[in-house]
Structure 1
Amino acid sequence: MALISQEEFKKITDFKQDICVSIFIPTQRGGKEVLEQKNKKHLKSTWDQVKRELEDRSVSAEKIKGIGKPIEALLEDPEFWRHQSDGLAIFSSEGFFEKYTVPVNFEAHHYISNDFYVKPLAPLTTDEGRFYLLAVQQDKVEFYEATKNTIGEIYVEDLTPSQLEDRVGYDFEEKNRKQKTQNSTMGTSTSHGYDAANRDDKNEILRFFNAIDKGLHEVLRDENVPLVVACQDYLFPIYKEANSYKNLFDQVVPGNPSDTDMFGLHEKALKVMEPHLEKKKRSKLESFNELTPDKTSSSISDIIPAAYEGKVDTLFLENRSEVWGTYDEQNRKVEVSKEQSSDNTSLMNLAAAKVIETGGSVFLIESAFMPEKEAKVNAIFRYS
């Protein structure tokens, strides 16, 4: 799975050209749908529809071919379709192509304009219910990116040792097996598979965890979301000692990770993380209602210029809605249109891109939970 860094996000939002195509489709991770190539068929039908719309706009066949070439290549890549998450986002234009398999359940959507559509990516840029999950045992390491509704594995074999033996050598496994045999012969047992009081064993596990932490730094260095660890209870204090990531969650997902599958781990992690997951969003929603009117707005004509000037702290967007129009940055003038046309753009997308770019938070909210329900866009301004 590819993660979208701040730099990659900015590259997408900065790109402007006469024809930019954004495609979002829900995908399945495995099972019958994958075997029947449902994901691939969904992209093909969407791209066919986009081509027809481009033709209706009198876009040249040569330009359509240039935009579609990397999409067509994806459709012919069987290996790509074997490793999907919950959603696929594609950004394609002449001379530009990016694709992301992400743990977000997109609604099927495509967008043609002179910029790319990034509003659906907001959950990946705001720590609303997003977290990393590290499932670690002495013989297995797995790393996941998750939200409240989804989970997907991030492959880190090239960054971290896959088992303790890889880090500290064969001697540990051999010594550990002898220890178990001795305990069995003597009629004693240890539920942890090694003598917890054995300092040498702890040091070897600490070395193993240090190597994992070092490898994960390559993924987590610019992140600001929680990392929760799933492991047996006795291992968690050792991992905490090795950890250097500033947002390690202080509670462990208990039990042996091998006792369940990825989705079972996700369910257990959510129980541990539940008090944290929506804390920020709840706090911001409460703030909107408590702040004085000069610190909030529900007017798109005020919010867009403020977003461009980096003055928006938090943006609430009605999830299934759009506001079409234009923005004249030089004159700070917003014009709202009744419907989409080739001459306007999504003002909600414009606001989302600028708020994320300037370090603000963007939340996609169902209409019933918007702070000001009569408006599709609400904002909290940064204090001056």
Structure 2
Amino acid sequence: MNTRNIITASDPVRHDDLRDLATRPGPTVSIVIPTHRGGAETLTDSQRLRPLLEQARKELAERYPDVDADSLLAPIQSLADSRRFWQEQADGLAIYAYPGGGRHFRTDRDFTPGVIVGDHPNLRPILPLFTEDQEFLLLAVGRDKVRLFEGDRATITELPLGAIPASDEEAEGVNTREPQLQHQSSVHAGAHGHGPRDYNVLNGFLQQVSKAVEARFTNDRRPLILATLEEYRGALAEHMKTIKVMAEVVPGSPTERSPKQLHEKAWPIAVDEGRRRHAATLDRLGEALGTGLATNDTSLIGSDSAAGRVDTLVLAERALTEDARADELDAAIANTLANRGRIDVVTVLPGNHASGAIFRY
């Protein structure tokens, strides 16, 4: 059974979550407010929501007079009335209501209170929770214990090993019957072995782990972070031909470290991979602009996203709070997601543009 550890009170935001919201029929009410993790302030958070709820009710009556506002706003009203709900918050709350249902996300972002009513949800406040996240695999290898995890910013989950040896003792029965393995990436005999047989067992164990992980995660796009002794990295990575193994390891023996302690050390490595991903997106955008397969024109992005032409939508951070073209940006985001495009958020775009789009054709 998978064992999941919660690292932060912030709710994860997945691509599927964004796409689910983007493809719901409108109108949609989007509300963000700051919240408190504890103390007397939690009692006032629900009161902060109520005027925004009334503002949404007024805008629905003006812009969508045929919509049953009470029915549409019922999920938000239910949250406003729940005392327990407000005692289990983080730093900010994003709420969405649409015909037939609603969703909410607790976040570690401190929002400015606001409400938007429109044909599309205002996903911009929660986009960084998706684009700044980085899913990863973590393989913790000691001679006496092997553990496998998957993680992201908010969670780390221990996975069953399956065919991966749980220790060198589990692998020893096979390796002691095999010829001694000699390879340039093998572990040096003097480091942690006690003669040829022990060296053979250790090196064979690491290579068995390597092969089993490769077989299980072939073509998995998540980076793999190793938590192990530095000298084990070569043998562990040797057979992982289709897996992106991070160069930096969580050093030292991982055996006594808890999942949360491993996450604390692994997350900065995952963040670095996320930064490289953002940089690669900017490089792609620059190259595509040079060949006519991209644009920074927000109006053109809107029409082309509706037509399914946008492969990747790139937003500068300033676009997340843009008011002048909010409807166009929200439509472009929703249409890109609905047509299975990708979205990234970067600090700034060249030319100080608010947005850019890489086209499929």
TM-score (norm 1): 0.60
Equivalent residue, structure 2, for 1:66: 74
Equivalent residue, structure 2, for 1:267: 268
Equivalent residue, structure 1, for 2:151: 144
SS of equivalent to 2:199:
coil
- Gaps (5+ residues) in structure 2? 1-5, 62-67, 171-189
State, as a whole percentage, how many aligned pairs show the same letter: 16
Equivalent residue, structure 2, for 1:90: 95
The verdict on how the C-alpha distance between 1:312 and 1:41 changes in structure 2, with shifts beyond 3 A counting, is farther
Does the Cα contact within 8 Å between 1:22 and 1:92 map onto a contact in 2? yes
- Gaps (5+ residues) in structure 1? 28-32, 146-150, 173-188, 325-337, 340-344
Equivalent residue, structure 2, for 1:346: 327
Q: How does 1:302-381 map to 2 (within 5 A)?
A: 302-321=300-319, 346-366=327-347, 369-373=348-352, 375-381=353-359
Equivalent residue, structure 1, for 2:84: 76
Match of 1:36 among 35, 39, 54: 39
Deviation at 1:347, TM superposition (A): 1.0
* Counterpart-to-counterpart distance in 2, 1:255 and 1:301: 50
Q: How does 1:175-254 map to 2 (within 5 A)?
A: 197=199, 199=201, 203=205, 206=208, 210=212, 224-236=221-233, 240=237, 246-254=242-250
Equivalent residue, structure 2, for 1:180: none
Deviation at 1:117, TM superposition (A): 1.9
Equivalent residue, structure 1, for 2:138: 134
SS of equivalent to 1:380:
strand
Equivalent residue, structure 2, for 1:111: 116
Equivalent residue, structure 2, for 1:153: 155
* Counterpart-to-counterpart distance in 2, 1:89 and 1:241: 44
The verdict on how the C-alpha distance between 1:119 and 1:249 changes in structure 2, with shifts beyond 3 A counting, is farther
For 1:324-373, what per-residue CA distance to the aligned partner results, in whole angstroms no more than 9, with x for missing partners? 6xxxxxxxxxxxxx68xxxxx6211111222234344433344xx32333
The verdict on how the C-alpha distance between 1:302 and 1:42 changes in structure 2, with shifts beyond 3 A counting, is farther
* Counterpart-to-counterpart distance in 1, 2:31 and 2:193: 49
SS of equivalent to 1:255:
coil
SS of equivalent to 1:320:
helix
Deviation at 1:129, TM superposition (A): 7.1
For 1:220-275, what per-residue CA distance to the aligned partner results, in whole angstroms no more than 9, with x for missing partners? 99x7443433333355456547869x55334242403539664444335556x488
Equivalent residue, structure 2, for 1:47: 49
Does the Cα contact within 8 Å between 2:146 and 2:166 map onto a contact in 1? no
The verdict on how the C-alpha distance between 1:353 and 1:213 changes in structure 2, with shifts beyond 3 A counting, is farther
Letter paired with 1:144: G
Letter paired with 1:253: V
Letter paired with 2:349: M
The verdict on how the C-alpha distance between 1:22 and 1:212 changes in structure 2, with shifts beyond 3 A counting, is farther
Deviation at 1:291, TM superposition (A): 0.7
* Counterpart-to-counterpart distance in 2, 1:211 and 1:74: 46
The verdict on how the C-alpha distance between 1:47 and 1:276 changes in structure 2, with shifts beyond 3 A counting, is same
Deviation at 1:88, TM superposition (A): 5.0
Deviation at 1:15, TM superposition (A): 0.7
* Counterpart-to-counterpart distance in 2, 1:62 and 1:74: 17
Higher relative contact order (Cα pairs below 8 Å, separated by 6+ residues): 2
Does the Cα contact within 8 Å between 1:233 and 1:252 map onto a contact in 2? no
Equivalent residue, structure 1, for 2:175: none
* Counterpart-to-counterpart distance in 2, 1:347 and 1:297: 15
SS of equivalent to 2:49:
helix
The verdict on how the C-alpha distance between 1:208 and 1:42 changes in structure 2, with shifts beyond 3 A counting, is farther
* Counterpart-to-counterpart distance in 2, 1:323 and 1:49: 22
Deviation at 1:14, TM superposition (A): 1.0
**Backbone CA RMSD of aligned residues:** 5.0
SS of equivalent to 1:47:
helix
Does the Cα contact within 8 Å between 2:214 and 2:243 map onto a contact in 1? no
Does the Cα contact within 8 Å between 2:314 and 2:356 map onto a contact in 1? yes
SS of equivalent to 1:251:
coil
* Counterpart-to-counterpart distance in 1, 2:239 and 2:44: 44
* Counterpart-to-counterpart distance in 1, 2:275 and 2:298: 33
Letter paired with 1:233: E
TM-score (norm 2): 0.63
Letter paired with 1:370: L
* Counterpart-to-counterpart distance in 1, 2:59 and 2:98: 15
For 1:21-77, what per-residue CA distance to the aligned partner results, in whole angstroms no more than 9, with x for missing partners? 3344677xxxxx745386x56853552232231344476784376222553487515
The verdict on how the C-alpha distance between 1:356 and 1:323 changes in structure 2, with shifts beyond 3 A counting, is same
Instruction: Verify: 1:16 aligned to 2:25, yes or no.
Output: yes
